[in-house]
Chain A
């Protein structure tokens, strides 16, 4: 599957490297993702997870290699076309300006509007729909900077929904949500992947959550892909030790059968 050039892939990454000055952050990564796949990205701090998502959107300059979104070369499309294909929920955003939740979600429609006509009826309909879907409709007049971290994340998830791209990139997008909202948000995204053939790449810190929702895992360390494959094969104590330097026990989820990890306190390597 690797390095396949068939346009059937939602995402193709070939030999990409990213450098900040002399520091190599991503080192010759190659992989491809099929439509409908939900891929979890795991790795220790500073392993390049966020940079990888940014590289897939062209937000950081590539030192080598290329990225194709739904068969289109990232370099050959303009920023609006790219934002129609792929969208991201960042870890968090800092803004000092008191935009309302509604206005923030509406910004997700930016890649679909033209310079002269601006936001149309359809964009407002999509915004309302996204707000309703995420249960934020009572919230629409609240000011974004005054929301809690979790509420801000819900707003950004709603914005991604309004943006309506074919590829979802989630950078710990559910980390600040309470358990119910976390499960709801991930259920919703995995349902989209199944029913509408959307593709999702999600960075997780919570290994178990990743294992519950993603059929495939990418394990990153020092800017390289250490392991890439089906969750059942990848999630082993040996691999977790190799990537995270941490001893774990892996057992099956009692109801769903996916592998889950258990930490062992006080265990010195």
Chain B
């Protein structure tokens, strides 16, 4: 709250202050928190489930699907109100459905096939987005800006739009945290110890994709939070998913809110930097530092 109030000029009428805080600042902060928490949480799930330290919430192409949906809405010129988030959500869900359908084998969902299906679908959609951008140059800037991610102008409708997905998804992944522990040791191990692998995987996967889709729909593509935050938390307190998911959500929310604050104020000209650019600019070198640290410690485990 101190941050909120610190930014407003002194001596203003309390009603104006109230409007600024409750109507503008608060929803923006809450949106950023939800998005950061959802991305970090989904990242933890994806890394554990796919047993891949490089996995992030966007591995399965959900973000490209959302971007595709948003691009169509932006080009069609229906950028008013909630049209873009809704279109992005539809795009993300449709992509998820296609990826799951492609990756579904007789034996259930296989991690390697899922990554491949995600890459294929996501690459194809990227090409379509590029095509649309080149066909409609007027929308180019808007599309690019949306894809870089921003919390500018987000209001309570965005919060109400994204929150249910996050809350439901978060409860679902927490309930399956112990299954995720075993799944992160390998499918055979999990199966052997009695985890209903197909059901657990489907629940975890769907829940984290829904969280990601909701996050991307209201904010655009914000990189590195979903990749790096789980690694930091694992480094601090170990890989047990019960606590990893909770701490990742908290740290993800904090990092994203701070990044947004910085993005708003960092340029001397007063313009706003897309927050996705900032998270990637800070996240990239930080990830390099973690990799370097790992190389020095000589651990076989990741980070």
Please give the residue numbers on chain A whose beta carbons come within 8 Å of chain B beta carbons, in ascending order.
54, 57, 59, 61, 78-84, 87-88, 90, 93-100, 103-104, 107-108, 110-111, 113, 115, 118-119, 143, 145-146, 163
Which of B13-21, B234-242, B273-281 interfaces with chain A? B234-242
B48 to nearest A CB, angstroms? 7
Please tell me if the beta carbons of B301 and A146 are within 8 angstroms of each other in the complex.
Answer: yes
Instruction: Give A108 to B188 CA distance when docked, in angstroms.
Output: 14
Question: What would be 29 A-B contacts, judged by CB atoms less than 8 Å apart?
Answer: A57-B191, A57-B192, A59-B191, A79-B197, A84-B194, A87-B193, A90-B192, A93-B189, A94-B186, A96-B51, A96-B301, A97-B51, A97-B301, A97-B302, A98-B239, A98-B299, A98-B301, A104-B185, A107-B181, A107-B185, A110-B195, A115-B175, A118-B178, A119-B178, A145-B299, A145-B300, A145-B301, A146-B299, A163-B193
B 230-259 to A, binary, CB cutoff 8 A, 1 in contact else 0: 000010001110000000000000000000
Judge if B80 is at the interface, Cβ distance under 8 Å. no
Q: A99-B239, A145-B300 are in contact. Are A108 and B107 (CB under 8 A)?
A: no
Chain B residues with Cβ below 8 Å from A94 are 186
Residue on A with the closest CB to B242?
Answer: A118
**Closest approach, in angstroms, between the C-beta of A124 and any C-beta of chain B?**
14
Q: Give the total of B residues in contact with A, Cβ under 8 Å.
A: 28
Name B235's closest neighbour in chain A (CB-CB): A98
| Chain A: CB-nearest residue to B185 | A95
Q: Are A98 and B193 in contact (CB under 8 A)?
A: no
Q: How far is the CB of A86 from chain B (nearest CB, A)?
A: 9
CB contact list, B149-177 vs A, under 8 A: 175
Q: Which of A80, A83, A95, A119 touches B186 (beta carbons < 8 Å)?
A: A95
Give me 4 other A-B pairs in contact (C-beta within 8 A), A97-B234, A143-B299 excluded.
A90-B192, A98-B302, A110-B182, A146-B301
B240: which A residues are within 8 A, CB to CB?
A: 99, 103
For A143, the chain B residues whose CB sits under 8 A away are 299, 301
**Contact residues in A for B182 (Cβ distance below 8 Å):** 107, 110
CB nearest neighbor in B for A156:
B189
> Closest Cβ of chain B: how far from A185's Cβ, in Å?
19
A90 touches B189 (CB 8 A): yes
Q: Do residues B48 and A97 form an inter-chain contact, with CB atoms below 8 A?
A: yes
Beta-carbon contact of A110 and B193 below 8 Å = yes
Return chain A residues, CB-CB under 8 Å to B300. Answer: 145-146
Closest to A53 in B: B192
Assess whether B192 is in contact with A83, with CB atoms less than 8 Å apart: yes
Question: Would you call B196 an interface residue if the criterion is a C-beta within 8 Å of the partner chain's C-beta atoms?
Answer: yes
Interface centre among A79, A87, A143 (most CB of B within 10 A): A79
Q: Which B residues touch A88, using CB under 8 A?
A: 192
Least CB distance from A142 to B in Å reads 11
**Complex partner residue of B193 from A96, A107, A146, CB under 8 angstroms:** A107
Cβ contacts under 8 Å, A87 to chain B: 192-193
Is B283 in the interface zone, CB < 8 Å from A? no
B188 touches A96 (CB 8 A): no
A139 to chain B, nearest CB (A): 16
| Interface presence of B122 (CB below 8 A) | no
A96 CA / B196 CA spacing, docked (Å): 22
B184 at the interface (CB under 8 A from A): yes
Minimal Cβ-Cβ distance residue in B for A144: B301
In the complex the two chains form, what is the Cα distance from A106 to B278 in whole Å?
41
Q: How far is the CA of A119 from the CA of B182 in the complex (A)?
A: 14
